[in-house]
Amino acid sequence: MAAMPNLQVTDCSSLFAPRLPHRPSLTLPHSGFIAKASLQQPHHHSASPPSIVNRRQLISQAASLSLSLATLSTLPPPAKSEEVLSEWERVSLPIDPGVVLLDIAFVPDDMNHGFLLGTRQTILETKDGGNTWVPRSIPSAEDEDFNYRFNSISFKGKEGWIVGKPAILLYTSDAGESWERIPLSAQLPGDMVYIKATGEKSAEMVTDQGAIYVTSNRGYNWRAAVQETVSATLNRTVSSGISGASYYTGTFNTVNRSPDGRYVAVSSRGNFYLTWEPGQPFWQPHNRAIARRIQSMGWRADGGLWLLVRGGGLFLSKGTGITEDFEEVPVQSRGFGILDVGYRSEDEAWAAGGSGVLLRTTNGGKSWTRDKAADNIAANLYSVKFINDKKGFVLGNDGVLLRYLG
């Protein structure tokens, strides 16, 4: 059994909207009777007085107008216009187009103050609730030899944490006004992919190899919460019938934490998934009951699980808690993969995916409708983050950030 080491730091440093579809236009006589009455004079050989001529013209044109209106009334009614995306708007960011946005968080005591992370050493800061963002320089995170990928950020009160790859840990005790770099042990197994601020000077950190560490002294010491690596667990349980365990490459594809501290992770190949609850000595592997490989998994607002498969399928667990019993929910993903689901409330959630796919449910996930306004966004939408029921964001590649308007 490969034991999970404890870590100790030795060094301390128009008029109508929406637009209607095309409809046949109403064709009126080319010369209006008012213009004719004022410009056209009767010929001097005409036997009819001017008033008679104008009256005849008026009657003739009125008849033509009545005929045109009658023809128009027989046409089918115009189709209803597609619903315009009103819940989200795209936010302009001062970053290179190739940046992939990875995480976002706000200071609980000041919900206007937040930070946005991404690849290529990207850290952006907002002080107006996410309307505008500016690059944030953190000297201790700038190294000429590395191009950091900042994976995760979390705040509790004024304390905040950032983790990235290559291994880097940043800590703030003043709501992000200043950040210090906390040294990390070279024994850390895997790359840090997630961090959660849990209390005063306390946090929980997860690596892509399934290591879970907790600290209560600002990150200077970390205690292993899992007693063995995922690879060791699978070696011990492969004979118990975990399909695909022998193909495990040693890393997670995704990992998600519930509000009460439970985790669900997907193996890198999507063959199976694993769960962990506080107090358990190791991860629990689970067979997937779906033929297609798993893309991602996470927690619903009611405590149940959602599961996404490659190719765009969405499944919900039956009941709440950890289970292997899932049922598929029909979605209109246009064949593109769905990559994440974020819950605004127990009833309302949004799902995002490849090529601007954006879906919404208002009944807890039983049915989903596609919001077409993001179809023109040439980007993959990787993550849906609701800070609370009024503040939410969708993060994508190529520097795409959508802000929830409600």
Cβ pair 328, 292 in contact under 8 A:
no
Amino acid present at 356: G
Q: How many helices (H) and strands (E) does the chain have?
A: 3, 29
Range of weakest confidence among 26-35, 67-76, 330-339, 370-379: 26-35
Overall pTM surpassing 0.85 (yes/no): no
Which pLDDT value is given to residue 61?
Answer: 56
**How many Cβ atoms sit within 10 Å of the Cβ of residue 279?**
7
Q: Does residue 74 have a pLDDT over 70?
A: no
pLDDT category of residue 84 using cuts at 50, 70 and 90: very low
The more confidently predicted of residues 185 and 106 is 106
Cβ pair 115, 105 in contact under 8 A:
yes
Which pLDDT value is given to residue 37?
Answer: 33
Going through 31-167 in order, the beta strands assigned E by DSSP cover 88-90, 101-107, 110-118, 122-126, 134-135, 149-156, 159-165
> What letter does residue 355 receive in the DSSP assignment?
G
Cβ pair 131, 91 in contact under 8 A:
yes
Q: What is the pLDDT of residues 256-299, one digit of tens each?
A: 999 999 999 999 989 999 999 999 999 999 988 888 999 999 99
Q: What rounded mean pLDDT belongs to the chain?
A: 81
Q: Does residue 27 have a pLDDT over 50?
A: no
* 142-157 residues labelled b (16+ CB within 10 A) or e (exposed): eeeeeebbbbbbbbbe
Average of pLDDT values for 365-374? 86
pLDDT category of residue 40 using cuts at 50, 70 and 90: very low
Percentage of residues in the chain having pLDDT higher than 70: 75
Q: What is the pLDDT of residues 197-253, one digit of tens each?
A: 999 999 999 999 999 999 999 999 999 999 988 888 887 766 456 665 665 667 899
Range of weakest confidence among 137-141, 329-333, 373-377: 373-377
CA distance 141 to 177: 14
Q: Is 43 exposed, middle or buried (0-12, 13-18, 19+ CB in 10 A)?
A: exposed
Q: Does residue 62 have a pLDDT over 70?
A: no
pLDDT category of residue 130 using cuts at 50, 70 and 90: very high
| DSSP secondary structure, 270-281, as one string | SSEEEEE-TT-S
Q: What angle do CA 202, 203, 206 make, to 5 degrees?
A: 160
Tell me: cis bond preceding 166? Omega within 30 of 0 counts: yes
Which pLDDT value is given to residue 174?
Answer: 98
Which pLDDT value is given to residue 22?
Answer: 42
Written as six digits, the tokens of 403 are: 């802000």
Q: Is 357 exposed, middle or buried (0-12, 13-18, 19+ CB in 10 A)?
A: buried
